[in-house]
Structure 1
Amino acid sequence: MNKIFRTSCITRVGTSFCNYSTNTSSNYCLDLVKRFDYENFMAVLLLKNTSRSTALAVRSFNVELSRVTEQTSQVSTGQARLQFWDDTIEACFNTDVKKIPQHPVALEIYKAVNRSKLSKRYFKNLIKCRYDYLNRNFFITLDEMEKYSENTVSNLYYLILEGCGMLDAQSELVASHLGKAQGILNLLRGCIIARKLNFISIPQELLVKHKVSDQSILNGVSSQKLNSCVSEVAGRAYEHLQKARHLSDKLPDNCAPVFLPAVTIDGYLTKLQVVNYDIFHPSLKRKPLLWLPKLIWYKYRNKY
């Protein structure tokens, strides 16, 4: 594992790049987020200058963490890759630039940390949660699913808010609720690749309650009973979305653009309701045509 990342040529499962100096680290992060996190990519583009650069660094870091689970089948390999990122964060908060791995995401994180004085604990929370679930393939309760969502998504918003110089008690509360809503929906959407991930994201307490088998999710089989499970999970996401929006008038000026992903969260919840919470419905895979104009309209109105 110690030879996976090198200065002259960095190679990962599914992604490789040599002679990295020919492309800037910022462009690499831009392309990474665009490819693997398109919805958040569109929202990040509407941020300004250094805020956008910090947000892209944070989002690209999250892409790298999330892909550890997708690309590794052995726990030990996943642990080694997460350890690399844990060591990288330690290095980014060290004053010795020579200790920063020559990886474009690491370089952008280092610049963001020094530019915006980001907090180490938020990065650590992101890594620890992924590490804790490497050997897990289900949630027991909806509360556990919510907590995981907070750890893996809300912490991203805390970092982005710090990068914008807007993290206070109210914006942190909005970020907490919105992160839970987005994280829960991300997990729900993962049902379509449950077999690939070997992870059942719908909590076991709901599957037992509605008499739905794990195998039906792995096989991608729709049913009214499964729809009922999805409806309960989506309901929890909707509650947090509404709480985040109800606090909008208490936020610092110009803070709303950070929370523009709320627009896409709301859009997906609406589409899910239209198909009666059939998580495998083909229409849920299509991107909305007026996505970007809607985001721009919300930004213009200072809403989310």
Structure 2
Amino acid sequence: MSSGEEAARYCFDLVREVDKDRFLAALFADDEKRPSLLALYAFDIELRRIRDLVSEPMLGEIRLQWWADALDRSFNGATGDHPVLEALAPALSSGAIGRTGPANLIEARRFDLYDDPMPSQNDLEGYLGDTSSALMQMAALTLIGKDADSCAEVSGLAGVAFGLTSLLRAMPLLRSRGQCFLPQDLLASHGMTVAHVLSGRWDGPMQAAVSDLVSLARRRLDEARSHVRKVPEAALPAFLPAALVPEYLRQLTRGSRNPLKITSDIGPVRRQWQLWRSARRKTF
């Protein structure tokens, strides 16, 4: 097996293991483009998991800086620093993905290294725009090149919907780290502080705050879907993960479960069926 094949296999296995939603959505992409798409998702995973691999934020900062420097070298033609960068090289060298998107993604992930609370809902949407939305737009660029410029608005909206849903599902993990992504202004409007979230108490005010964010995710998804005609069919796999948002949100608000302590999920068969149905209908 050549080094290029080994790099592609590394990305394939990593995304399949860590990010089932994007992995399954990528299976609907063109065979020729899929390796670069999976390499992009693997790049995001490598950044996201730095928090869990280091014992203190400064070590995370060093790792993020390494990725930033290695990315610069990749844009200048180097490919040997990491299997993810080697697999991503075709998309970088072709100009399909510019420097700005990956660099901004690295910068946004610095927030993940610390326990600072999310200040406001505007800050939360900005964070999601630089992470989930940016990744969605880069995925579209990987699939269809500059024609994906028409998808920017959809990426912004659908990325917020999917990213916010993912954060809500990740609340048990975030709490265990001492992190709170529920915005402080939203908590204050319901008479709460970050301490209420970290306590895991599932009472009326907390339910109302989470309900507000669930409504925001649904609203952003509806707004994105209203522009689905702007998405070329070949770019649709980049947006398919958003098709899972409604079912995840239903699970999140189901019955008396406490989403601060219990992670909401979808069974593998239903997940695959939902993605297949959306792909067949050319929507998300």
Please give the TM-score of this superposition, normalised by the length of structure 1: 0.84
Taking the aligned partners of 2:149 and 2:11, their CA distance within structure 1 comes to: 30
Q: Residues 190 and 205 of structure 2 are in contact (CA less than 8 Å); yes or no, is this contact kept in structure 1?
A: yes
Number of the residue aligned with 1:289? 269
Match of residue 194, structure 1, among 174, 190, 214: 174
Greater Cα offset, 110-119 or 255-264: 110-119
Query: 1:111: which partner in 2?
Result: 90
Summarize the alignment of residues 246-257 of structure 1 with structure 2, pairs less than 5 Å apart: 246-257=226-237
* Letter of the 1:38 counterpart: K
Shift, 1:55, TM fit: 1.2
Q: Secondary structure at the match of 2:209?
A: helix
Higher normalized contact order (CA 8 Å, seq sep 6+, divided by chain length):
2
Q: For 1:71 and 1:196, how far apart are their aligned partners in 2?
A: 15
Does structure 2 conserve the Cα–Cα contact (< 8 Å) formed by 1:53 and 1:112? no
CA shift digits 1:10-49 (9 cap, x unpaired): xxxxxxxxxx969711111111111111111111121112
1:281 Cα deviation from its structure 2 partner: 6.7
Cα distance change, pair 190–121 in 1 and its aligned pair in 2 (3 A): same
1:231 and 1:277 in contact (8 A); partners too: no
1:81 shift after superposition: 0.2
Question: Structure 1, residues 82-137: CA drift from partner, whole Å, max 9, x if none?
Answer: 01100111011003x3xx34421121122331246321110011011112553452
The CA distance in 2 between the partners of 1:238 and 1:70, in whole Å, is: 30
Which amino acid in structure 1 is aligned with residue 10 of structure 2? Answer: Y
> Does the CA-based 8 Å contact 1:185-1:234 persist in structure 2?
yes
**By how many angstroms is 1:203 displaced?**
0.8
Change (3 A) 1:109 1:241: same
Match of 1:155 among 112, 134, 137: 134
The gaps in structure 1 that reach 5 residues or longer are 1-19
Match of residue 259, structure 1, among 236, 239, 245: 239
Extract unaligned runs of 5+ from structure 2.
none
* Aligned residue in 2 for 1:49: 31
1:81 pairs with one of 59, 63, 81:
63
Residue aligning to 1:143? 122
Aligned-partner Cα distance in 1 for 2:272–2:266 = 14
Number of positions where the alignment pairs a residue of Structure 1 with one of Structure 2: 282
1:67, distance to aligned residue in structure 2 (A): 0.6
CA-based RMSD of the aligned residues comes to: 2.4
